[in-house]
Amino acid sequence: MSTTTLKAWYWVHKWTSLICTVFLLMLCITGLPLIFYHEIDHWLGNAAEPPDMPVDTPRISVDRIVEAARAQRPDDAVQFVSREPDEPHVWFVVLGKTPDAQEASAFYTYDARTGELLLDYPLDQGFMHFMFTLHVDLFAGLPGTLFLGFMGLLFVASMVSGVVVYGPFMRKLPFGTVRRERAARTKWLDLHNLLGITTLVWASVVGITGVVNTLAWPILGYWQYTELADMTASYRGKPPLIGVGSTQQAITAARAAEPGMDLSFIAFPGTLFSSPHHFTAYMTGTTPLTSKLLKPVLIDAQTSAITAQRELPWYVTALLVSQPLHFGDYGGMPLKILWALLDVLTIIVLGSGLYLWLKRRNISVEEWLHDVQPEASDAVVSFPAVPQRESA
């Protein structure tokens, strides 16, 4: 690599890092408690604990649970009913001010066997909500999310350029060397290089999947506009629904249509994830990977007849696979702990990078390369990529 090329990559590394570091530090710090969102919710008492009952206790009709949720908030619309594989005894019901509202107005947890309201989740408040909103959109909605996505792209660029400059800078230092006896700045340069290169693959995957997640609304919007519209084309222009049919029948029909799958959530007519005339049941597989994917099944909201079912296109599948790879919630508590440790290591890489810039010395790349060599006497022999005429 010529010195000019190396200088250019170094410039890219410096500036992409400088622009994104403050935001990336925020993302890493707010992301740390979010890894344990589920556990913290349990600890704070924001999780339903359904009472123990005999395993063969029958489940009541979902319709009664939907009625109960409507009775709780008669002015709001039921948007989604969902379940979690690891919490088989409860149904979650999401309501909004209107059917197509983007914000939920209530999140209820019901006992699937008794219909008892177990939890009215405290929305839009608390420490975790603050951390979550800061992490997702800086309290600035979709523009905030897209801005953070752009910072994520810069982070990816800073990692790519960091790898490019890593090679030339490590020509004289065996892997893992930390020159502790030298100046603090040298020690932190070595640690920045070491931690940066060891956490590289994890940080890249979490960075790239984070960028993909910032595109969730545009991706889903495009899918609604193209595929979902196509699936419901024959209903276009039909008069609006008079009374919605049975949710339970819709779920039963979807389960019969996809016998090897399980329900993840069902979207109500008129919501962003369905059509004005349909329930849309989102079915998941039962293997570790397919349980992260969804297959929509459209059910006529009045007759409960299946009208369409098809796989999601690749770009929605990419979004769905990006989620576990960003959250680290797919391999039990040990994986979450590793996620947290790698997150802390990334904070150290970001912090040390900032420190190196603040303590920068006004020296050229050539001088710096000279400096990373172990013995001054080696300097002249060592770096053939640095033409003598340029350093003169």
Q: Which residues bind another protein (CB under 8 A)?
A: 166-167, 170-182, 190-191, 194-195, 197-202, 205, 287-289, 292, 321, 324-325, 330-332, 334-335, 338, 341-342, 345, 348, 374-375, 378, 381-383
Distance CA 120, CA 92 (A): 10
Minimum CB–partner distance for residue 355 and another protein (Å): 15
Q: What is the dihedral of CA 4, 7, 9, 13, to 10 degrees?
A: -170
Minimum CB–partner distance for residue 359 and another protein (Å): 19
Minimum CB–partner distance for residue 187 and another protein (Å): 8
Minimum CB–partner distance for residue 320 and another protein (Å): 12
DSSP state of 225: I
Distance CA 122, CA 230 (A): 37
Closer CB to another protein, 286 or 303, in the complex: 286
For residue 98, how far is the Cα from the chain centroid? 26
If phi > 0 it is left, if psi is from -120 to 50 it is alpha, else beta; for residue 212 that is alpha
If phi > 0 it is left, if psi is from -120 to 50 it is alpha, else beta; for residue 141 that is left
What is the residue whose two structure tokens read 């982070």? 155
Closer CB to another protein, 134 or 342, in the complex: 342
Contact of 152 with 214, CB cutoff 8 Å: yes
Minimum CB–partner distance for residue 12 and another protein (Å): 19
Q: What is the DSSP string of 119-152?
A: EE--TT-HHHHHHHHHHHHTTSHHHHHHHHHHHH
Closer CB to another protein, 71 or 333, in the complex: 333
Closer CB to another protein, 146 or 173, in the complex: 173
Closer CB to another protein, 182 or 360, in the complex: 182
Minimum CB–partner distance for residue 109 and another protein (Å): 26
Distance CA 65, CA 116 (A): 8
Closer CB to another protein, 104 or 156, in the complex: 156
